[in-house]
Structure 1
Amino acid sequence: MLNSLHPATRLVGWIALIVFVQLARGPLLWGFGLVVVTLGLSFARQRSLRLVRRARFLLIVLVVLFAFFTPGEALVSALGQAGPTREGLMLAASHGVRLLSVLILVALLLETTDERTLVSGLMTLASPLGKFGFPVERLALRVLLVMAYVERPPEGGWRALLDGRADTPSGPGLRVRRQALAVPDRFLIGALLVLIVWGAFR
């Protein structure tokens, strides 16, 4: 079913899920996080674990900052204000679930949609900007290059990119075919955009 959706529709749906996880609170957040983690481990296990591993220091810093620097009731009375607080741990857990959910949603998107299809969807969404002179094709090319380097980093890693020793992908492999939006996709994108705006400003 997912493959039948236009790439632009998939991107807008992904954005809607990101907005939802930022707005969710309490049991809704925990339940959504559990579902996302389960899906990630079931359908994109390797990619999910790789993204979480890369963001592990960010997760650790997030937990420490919220747990130890949020005013509230001390969790360990012997440590007093130097220790973590109950309120801080709750905030750390909530924000940790949000970050973890976003990482796994990224992994699921990349697992189910290849980079050329994603860039095709991005070009469709950005096409109205082309009427104002915005270089949509150039943006698509740069995004595709970044994704190619992220998925298949050159030998030597980021240092090779800075030194100019990495080969730049070129040729027919960088061509992206723009797909026309079908009527159902237009309605679905419109409905998702309304939900995103409503959720962001309610």
Structure 2
Amino acid sequence: MHRLQPTPLVFSALLLLVLASLRDRRRWWRTLKRLRFLLLALVFVYGWSTPGLRLVAWLWAPTEEGLRSGALQAMRLVGMLASLHCLLAGLGHERIFAGLYTLAAPLALFGAWRERCALRLVLTMDYAEALLAAPQVLRSNWRAWLDGDDGAPVGPVRLTVLPLSGWQRGLCAALLAAIGLILTGVGW
């Protein structure tokens, strides 16, 4: 999404927006509702901080280039969030975490404990979902939340590792090799 020109960016973001709303409309609109101030802030910050031709002859007017850049950044953010929403809705948490766990296998060469990292990610996502499912607890009793009584119990968490087939292993190896080449700067 980051490297797309404006016209393909708008079309792909709109397509992803439609796909995300078809997947789980209520959850997607709740996400957009929470992001509305961030999206507006992007447009305004770019509008007043990017040099260019002012919209009107006032001293504090936003620039046309800035508003366009802010709108494009907002579209990039909405497109990436919509694609993430489609991915989460299509695969489910267990398959995503199993995939991340499998992709993190080479990190063991550097001394990273992928079991702990994957478990922390699973716990964080489950805890965040439990908090988002009951937001009235945080709004009505913020002092209890600060004391640690958030009222959002998290059930037992299990990390399942899914076996990979031969072509999936080859695809993971190619993906990791491409990431390694990009990180080392080979081919630029």
User: What range describes the TM-score normalised by the shorter chain of this pair?
Assistant: 0.7 to 0.9
> Which whole-Å CA distance do the structure 2 matches of 1:133 and 1:100 have between them?
36
For residues 130 and 110 of structure 1, do their structure 2 counterparts lie closer, same or farther at Cα, with a shift above 3 Å needed?
A: same
Aligned residue in 1 for 2:115: 137
> Which whole-Å CA distance do the structure 1 matches of 2:138 and 2:127 have between them?
9
- Structure 1 unmatched ranges of 5 or more: 1-20
Aligned residue in 2 for 1:55: 35
Aligned residue in 1 for 2:147: 163
SS in 2 for 1:179: coil
SS in 2 for 1:152: helix
Return the match for 2:106 from 128, 137, 144: 128
> Which whole-Å CA distance do the structure 1 matches of 2:76 and 2:111 have between them?
37
Q: Considering Cα pairs closer than 8 Å and 6+ residues apart, tell me whether 1 or 2 has the greater RCO.
A: 1
Aligned residues of 1:48 and 1:103 also touching (Cα < 8 A): no
For residues 86 and 32 of structure 1, do their structure 2 counterparts lie closer, same or farther at Cα, with a shift above 3 Å needed?
A: same
The code of the aligned residue for 1:107 comes to H
Aligned residue in 1 for 2:93: 115
Return the match for 1:152 from 93, 117, 130: 130
1:49 Cα deviation from its structure 2 partner: 1.3
Aligned residue in 1 for 2:6: 26
When normalised by structure 1's length, the TM-score is 0.75
Aligned residue in 1 for 2:170: 187
For residues 104 and 69 of structure 1, do their structure 2 counterparts lie closer, same or farther at Cα, with a shift above 3 Å needed?
A: same
- Structure 2 unmatched ranges of 5 or more: none
> Which whole-Å CA distance do the structure 1 matches of 2:47 and 2:166 have between them?
49
Aligned residue in 2 for 1:177: 160
> Which whole-Å CA distance do the structure 2 matches of 1:109 and 1:70 have between them?
34
Aligned residue in 2 for 1:101: 79
RMSD: 2.6
For residues 191 and 26 of structure 1, do their structure 2 counterparts lie closer, same or farther at Cα, with a shift above 3 Å needed?
A: farther
1:168 Cα deviation from its structure 2 partner: 5.7
The code of the aligned residue for 2:154 comes to P
When normalised by structure 2's length, the TM-score is 0.80
> Which whole-Å CA distance do the structure 2 matches of 1:40 and 1:148 have between them?
21
Q: Deviations over 1:120-146 (max 9, x none)?
A: 111111122234432211112211111
The code of the aligned residue for 2:102 comes to T
Number of residue pairs aligned between Structure 1 and Structure 2 = 176
The code of the aligned residue for 2:73 comes to H
> Which whole-Å CA distance do the structure 1 matches of 2:110 and 2:62 have between them?
52
1:65 Cα deviation from its structure 2 partner: 0.7
1:94 Cα deviation from its structure 2 partner: 0.8
